[in-house]
Amino acid sequence: MTQRRNFNLAGLAAGLILAAGPALSQGFPSKPVTLQVPFAPGGTTDIIGRVMSEPLGKALGQNVIVLNRAGGGGVVGAQELARATPDGHYIGVATVSTTAANPAINPKIPYDTINDFTPIMNIAATPNVIAVHPSFPAKDLKAFIAEVKKNPGKYSYASSGTGGIGHLQTELFKSLTGTFITHIPYRGAGPALNDTIGGQVPIIFDNLPSALPHILAGRLVALAVAAPARVAALPNVPTFKEAGLEPVNRMAYYGLIGPKGLPADVVSKIHAAASEALKDPAVRKRIEDTGSIVVGNSPSEFAAQIKTEFGVYKEVVAKQKLKLD
C-alpha cells in the first residue's frame, strides 16, 4: 500500500513538473523584463534599445528596463545573455558585431552565435558608408579603387576595432576589388571618425548616422553606401550594388534575441509586442532619425540573416587571413 502511495505521489510530482514549463511561459511576463544592450550608452544600439523599451513594455504589460553591458566589442554582454535563464525576462539587442563579425574572427568567443541564442526580430538596419578625407586624391568610388590599386599599401583605413563590422566590411571590399589598404583599428567608432576627419587616416568605413553630419558639412567625402537604395540625404552617392559590389551592400542590424531554449510562446509574445511597438509612428520616426530603416521581420527570417552574415564574414576572415591584433 505504501509502495503504491509513493508511486502515485511520484507520478503526481512528475506531472506537475511537466506542466510547469507551459504554465511558466503562459504567465510571461510575471515581472519586469531586462533588455540588455551590449555596448555603452549613446551609440545607435543603445538608442534603438531605449526607443523600443517603453512601447515594448506597454505592449507586454510590464516595465522593460535597459541594461548596458559593454566590453569586448559586445562580447561581454552577449556572453552574459547566452547564460541567462531562458524565460523571456532577460533579452538583448543583437548586432552584426556580436553575432557575426566578432565570432567570425575570434576563435575564443565564449558562445556559439548560431546555437546559443534564440532570434526574435530584427528591429532595424543601418546603412554603412565608405568615406575619405577631402584631401584624398579621388572623390568617387571608381577613381578611389583605381588610386588604391595603383598604390598598394600606401593608404590606410580607420575602423572601430578589429572584428567590428567596419573592419570586416572593408576587408570584404578589399577582397572583391583586389586592393590593399592597411587597417588601423581604434577603440571605438568615435576616435576612428575623429582621426579621419582630422586627416590622420584618409579612409573610413563607418555607420552612416555618425558619419553623415561630417559628410554634409564637407569634412568627409562619401564614395558609396551599403543600403537597399540611395540614401535621401546623399542622392548622388551610389550603393555598392550599383557599383557592381553587391556583396558589400550589407547593413548593420539591431535585433532582439534571447538565450537558447526560449519557449516558442514567449518568443511569440515578445515578437508580437515588438511588432505592436513598431506600428507607432513616433517610434518609427525615432528609429529612422538615427539613419536606420525599420525592418520588423520574423524570428526565422532573423535567424537566417544572422547565419548568413556569420557565414559571409567567416569567409572574409579565411580569404583575407585575418587575425585578432
pLDDT in the model for residue 57: 97
19-38 mean pLDDT:
76
CA dihedral sign of residues 87, 91, 96, 98: negative
User: What residue spans define the domains of the chain?
Assistant: 31-125+251-320, 128-248
pLDDT in the model for residue 20: 43
Q: Do domains 31-125+251-320 and 128-248 have the same CATH topology?
A: yes
Mean pLDDT of the chain: 89
Considering only 15-19, 159-163, 171-175, 216-220, which range has the smallest mean pLDDT?
15-19
Task: State pLDDT tens for residues 42-69.
Answer: 778 888 999 999 999 999 999 999 999 9
Pairing of strands 182-185, 117-126: unpaired
pLDDT in the model for residue 21: 43
127-152 mean pLDDT:
96
Task: State pLDDT tens for residues 83-96.
Answer: 999 999 999 999 99
pLDDT tier for residue 3 given thresholds of 50, 70 and 90: very low
pLDDT in the model for residue 140: 96
Return all residues near 83 (Cβ < 8 A) that are at least 6 apart: 259
Structural contact between residues 176 and 247, judged by C-beta atoms closer than 8 angstroms: yes
pLDDT in the model for residue 26: 65
Task: State pLDDT tens for residues 188-197.
Answer: 778 889 999 9
Return all residues near 247 (Cβ < 8 A) that are at least 6 apart: 172, 176, 312
Return d(Cα 229, Cα 225) in angstroms, integer: 9
pLDDT in the model for residue 2: 46
Name the architecture of domain 128-248: 3-Layer(aba) Sandwich (3.40)
pLDDT in the model for residue 27: 86
pLDDT in the model for residue 25: 59
Q: Which three cell numbers stand for residue 87?
A: 524565460
At residue 17, does pLDDT exceed 50?
no
At residue 30, does pLDDT exceed 70?
yes
pLDDT in the model for residue 5: 45
Structural contact between residues 256 and 305, judged by C-beta atoms closer than 8 angstroms: no
pLDDT tier for residue 325 given thresholds of 50, 70 and 90: low
| Higher pLDDT pick, 291 / 132 | 132
Considering only 5-19, 33-47, 53-67, which range has the smallest mean pLDDT?
5-19
Say what the pTM is.
0.81
Q: Among residues 100, 89, 135, 145, which one has the least CA distance to residue 259?
A: 89
Class of 31-125+251-320 per CATH? alpha beta
pLDDT in the model for residue 165: 85
**11: part of which helix (H) or strand (E)?**
helix 2-26
